[in-house]
Amino acid sequence: MKKETVVLITGCSSGIGKNLCNILHAKGYKVIATARKVESIQDLNASLKLELDVTKKESIKKAVDETVSRYQKIDILINNAGYSVRGALEEVTISDVRAMYDVNVFGIIHMIQAVVPTMRDQRYGKIINIGSISGRFAQAINGGYCSSKFAVEALSEAARLELYQYNIQSTVIEPGPIKTNFFNILAKNSDHLMSNADSPYTSFYKSDGGQRSSQKKTEVEAAVREIANIIEKRRLNARYKVAVPMKLRLVVMLPHTIRERILRNY
């Protein structure tokens, strides 16, 4: 029954993670909400609220151990923590990209390594990795973030193959643009670089800024309801697109040469 299903979610301070906590809690799940600063999630509807930094193994171990100690299991892991840094590959700093990878990629590996032993013992589990439609095709000045989400695709597929024998399923959710704080954080992380008028990539940066301001985004509640419905499926597919506009769905399907030609002009 749902009331007996324990769900651990990372990155719950805002956006998809925050809304997933509220929706799954309302559905009757035992929701373990986590964030780097536990005070940022005090207003959430959750059975347990814990501090968890996906870049720190000791923080992960403490949160997972406390969850298992209290509920004796973890049925569903939702790897939601992530963010974006944007900039041309020539200009973006390695330290910024490395920090992003620590959260977006290595954070997922850390969480899988911490949770899978419990799932394997109970012979059941679901791992839901929040990726991005940007993990299916790269865009100019977004190579660092896209590459991190390409990695999420590979990690999710590998886990799916490795853990099938233990009745543990893995899937990746590929959201399109959603109305969350994601783009505000992106701007905070990237605009100092992208506002440089002397950059050889100024035309890309201006185009990106204009697109971000005019881009149609899906309401977060609608997107999260769709994600919640996916989580409840008995058998998970390898990947699901959520809130992805038709034009981006078409880009993913196009042959590489045609896609490249379109993205150059875009």
Q: Within its chain, how far is the Cα of 27 from the centroid?
A: 22
Q: Quick check: is 145 catalytic?
A: yes
Q: Which of 213, 219, 210 is nearest to 176 (CA)?
A: 219
Structure tokens at 156: 């999710």
Nearest to 179 by CA among 147, 221, 120, 142: 221
40 within 8 A of 21, measured Cβ to Cβ = no
The active-site residue, picked from 83, 145, 201, 240, is 145
Phi, psi at residue 67, to the nearest 5°? -65, -50
What gap in Å lies between CA 243 and CA 176, rounded to an integer? Answer: 5
Task: Kindly give the residue spans of alpha helices, DSSP state H, lying in 132-181.
Answer: 143-163
For the annotated catalytic residues, the residue numbers are: 145
